[in-house]
Amino acid sequence: MFKKPVTGPQKSKLKSSAQRAVRAKFLEQFPLLEPYIDDILPKKSQLELIKLQDHISLYALDNKVLFCQHRDDALIPHLKIVHAYPQCFKRISVDRGAIRFVLAGAQLMCPGLTSPGAWLPPTEEEILEGTVVAVYAEGKENACMVGILKMKTEDIKKINAGAAMELGHYLGDGLWKYVVD
| CA–CA distance, 109 with 102 (Å, rounded to integer) | 9
Residue 167 pLDDT greater than 80, yes or no: no
User: What is the per-residue pLDDT for 159?
Assistant: 95
Domain boundaries in the chain? 10-83, 86-170
Kindly indicate the confidence band of residue 178, based on its pLDDT and cuts at 50, 70 and 90.
Answer: confident
Is 10-83 a CATH 3.50.50.60 domain?
no
User: What is the per-residue pLDDT for 121?
Assistant: 96
Q: What is the pLDDT of residues 70-105, one digit of tens each?
A: 988 899 999 999 999 999 999 999 999 999 999 998
Q: Which CATH class is domain 86-170?
A: alpha beta
Strands (DSSP E) contained in 14-100 are: 48-52, 56-61, 64-70, 76-77, 91-94
By DSSP bridging, strand 143-149 and strand 165-170 are antiparallel
Tell me the mean pLDDT in the region 107-116: 94
Q: Do domains 10-83 and 86-170 have the same CATH topology?
A: yes
Please state, for a pLDDT cut of 90, what percent of the chain lies above it: 80
- pTM value > 0.85: yes
Q: What is the overall mean pLDDT for the chain?
A: 92
Cβ-contact 76, 119 below 8 angstroms: no
| CA–CA distance, 146 with 77 (Å, rounded to integer) | 7
